A and B are shown apart, each in its own frame.
Chain A
């Protein structure tokens, strides 16, 4: 330990990586000390993911040098990275749904012992770090938080000296985040370095000892997050003064525009969630938020609201008094209910088709882009162009394929496509998921403006910070049931977090104890 402290655990010297014409990493240099929790901060597309893939051996750098404990190393494969003592927890978990926890962990470990012994070690390690896991369960039965535990335990079993965590908290409840931080601090105390990738500034302030900020593939700054303000870090990250969101002045009318009454839908999917007696009202000009940990019925609810699932009782959903529950998505659209689903590529848009063609998906009848079954190409082009202009979408024009847009730009386009139809009610799921701060601000501003003009908006999001900024009232969905709504101004993160974990903090604790007993 003492001798290790002289050299940094990991040092990068002038790492560069190009993809065709794009420079993803441009002479990046920084170092991580043993036991240090080092934040890698940057917007989407800043080059963070490319960089950690290089460190973990998934990609190879074009130029530059990696020093490990002071010695230059080449890391050609994840296998080799693990051999050096580098572990990685991926943003999108690299788990196999139909396989057990034990099998998943065995696959990610080199020279795994036989499965029986491995199962024992999993239980031991997961106890030591407070991450209860049952090795025999199949992954698809686990919550997102539990899945992350699988990834972390997999890394810990190999006694890593450096643990890379790529956006680990984006899918966790605030309480789960707390618990994760306890584990990470414990690891850091034991001398394990942690490279912590995030764009959540508060977390970085709470957890990290040092931060390296990336923008456009370069290091643009280093700071001590305990001292630097969140605003300062955000400005480094974005590279310009942050635009303050302009909250609308108008008040929320008492007259409900959208009424959902006792919405109950049994799931059609094998691992889906049943919706149980969901009721809420949204007034004109109101933004209503639905929070919750992923996989608690959000998809089912958005589909039922958008009309992708139709209901037997028409009056379950009423729009300005009209019963629309039995109508399909297109008919609901004609009544003024537009929606933005969570999955932007493949669900909200067809990646292989042009932006103009993609406007036809939802604006076809509302804006008369097709008449008597014939597409009006010029009008579709014009509408696509209007969306591009008004939402500052970076695209080669209306004829560009949707697949050529970056995630943030595609999301702006899809939101714009619905917003410019001036709907009476807008259902929007994960409006800024994986979108950079600039695009997020544009989208939020558009929602405010729409609400100001009297639209009732339902925002379904896992990002609590977003809901706290955007909504007027919010409720939490948990296992297909919706909590009573609370005014956002009066809501505390803690209160919502408890609701997300299943109504009572006590219940969450009990459930955890139950599963740890299961393990032992």
Chain B
């Protein structure tokens, strides 16, 4: 009985963490290249609506997932053109992208509200999912959950071990120095931004295809912002971001269970993940390690490759 509820809660935690992990892992790459894209919420919503609509009309969740990534990437492309080519302010453009994404996804999704779509099938890895407790938790999830962890591992490997990853970190650290060495600053930033958009799209698709298999206006309900905070929380390191995502996923699920146990308005508990975000960010920024907690030195600074 207790084992069963542990299994259920753990599986729910992983499920709640996965969209955060996708988005945060993507944004981590974007920020390590020195670009601050605050449009994640908008990109996520576009991914959610595109994934849902394509899955519903074609019947193929794989096409839906691809469409979600593509939708996120297209949004990111708009951001990249504005900020990297036309040198618009990154913060303002990112905020605009979020607002634009909220509106556009609501418009495109208006015909799909309330329609059901089959949830993504759970992949049962041969034998492993039969293991007691950890079997169903770790090995009875759908493909996107595995993909999110693989993606995080891939990002960690890419940044630490590969030459393009090294170039990307260097560009985020000092675009001017990277340029003087002949590294393609703008191209790398474009690619990073597109990757971040695609990852945000996948996070959105997970929400509309697996977490709650349906489309609802504004269904991300601030998860994009939490993911942005997670990147800071994880001090721009992939595995710490993963830990952070699961921690926040845990808070989200626990507050649901706490709602039943205490006689307080449900809204008080719904605030928990957001309060936790604020608390963590405050602690990180006010601590003795303030000033430099591994933030890419050129984060959010536009780069003009002229003189």
Contacts and interface: CB of A to CB of B under 8 A. Distances in A.
Interface string B168-180: 0110011011111
A230 interface: no
A96 interface: yes
Range, interface on chain B? 20 to 34
A98 interface: yes
Most-contacted residue by chain B among A57, A59, A103, A269 (CB, 10 A): A103
B89 interface: no
Interface in B139-183: 163, 166-167, 169-170, 173-174, 176-183
Interface residues of A, number: 26
Contact of A96 (B174, B292, B294): B174
Contact of B297 (A98, A104, A271): A98
A270 B163 contact: no
B173 A59 contact: no
B174 A269 contact: no
A93 B178 CA distance: 11
A94 B297 contact: no
B262 interface: no
Contacts of A82: 182
A93 B174 CA distance: 11
Interface string B243-271: 00000000000000000000000000000
Interface in A63-121: 77-79, 82, 90, 93-99, 103-104, 106-108, 112
A167 to B, nearest CB: 15
A107 B294 CA distance: 20
Given A58-B180, A78-B182, A107-B167, A97 B289 contact: no
Nearest to A80: B182
B291 interface: yes
Contacts, number: 56
B183 A98 contact: no
Contact of A97 (B180, B183, B297): B297
Interface string B214-246: 000000000000000000000000000000000
Interface string A372-392: 000000000000000000000
B286 interface: no
B2 interface: no
Contacts of A107: 166-167, 170, 178, 181, 183
Contacts of B294: 98
B1 interface: no
Contacts of B177: 93-96
A112 B180 CA distance: 17
A203 to B, nearest CB: 24
A19 B307 CA distance: 9
Contacts of B182: 57, 77-79, 82
Given A78-B181, A79-B182, A94 B174 contact: yes
A114 B180 CA distance: 23
B181 A112 contact: no
B307 A96 contact: no
B182 to A, nearest CB: 4
A270 B174 contact: no
Contacts of B297: 97-98
Given A59-B307, A78-B181, A270-B289, A97 B173 contact: yes
Contacts of B174: 94, 96-97
A106 B163 contact: yes
Interface in B179-200: 179-183
Interface string B273-307: 00000000000000001011010010000000001
B291 A94 contact: no
A270 B173 CA distance: 17
A94 B169 CA distance: 14
A108 B170 CA distance: 11
A98 B180 contact: no
A58 to B, nearest CB: 6
Contact of A90 (B180, B289, B291): B180
Contacts of A94: 174, 176-178, 180-181
A25 to B, nearest CB: 13
B102 to A, nearest CB: 34
| A78, A99, A107, A269: residue with the most chain B Cβ atoms closer than 10 Å | A107
Contact of A99 (B169, B181, B183): B169
A269 B176 CA distance: 24
B170 A78 contact: no
Which of B163, B170, B183 has the largest count of A CB atoms less than 10 A from its CB?
B170
A229 to B, nearest CB: 35
B172 to A, nearest CB: 9
Contacts of B166: 99, 103, 106-107
Nearest to A110: B182
Contacts of B169: 96, 98-99
Contacts of A78: 180-182
Given A103-B166, A112-B163, A269-B291, A96 B183 contact: no
B289 A99 contact: no
A134 B2 CA distance: 55
Given A97-B297, A269-B291, A270-B291, A108 B181 contact: yes
A98 B291 contact: no
Contacts of A95: 177
Given A106-B166, A107-B166, A107-B167, A96 B173 contact: yes
A82 B182 CA distance: 10
Contacts of B289: 270
Contacts of A106: 163, 166
24 contacts: A19-B307, A57-B182, A58-B180, A59-B307, A78-B182, A82-B182, A94-B174, A94-B180, A94-B181, A96-B169, A96-B170, A96-B173, A96-B177, A96-B178, A97-B174, A99-B173, A103-B166, A106-B163, A106-B166, A107-B166, A112-B163, A269-B291, A270-B289, A270-B292
Interface of A: 19, 57-59, 77-79, 82, 90, 93-99, 103-104, 106-108, 112, 268-271
Given A106-B166, A112-B163, 5 more contacts: A78-B181, A96-B177, A107-B183, A270-B292, A271-B292
Q: Which 3 A-B pairs have the closest CB atoms?
A: A78-B182, A94-B177, A96-B173
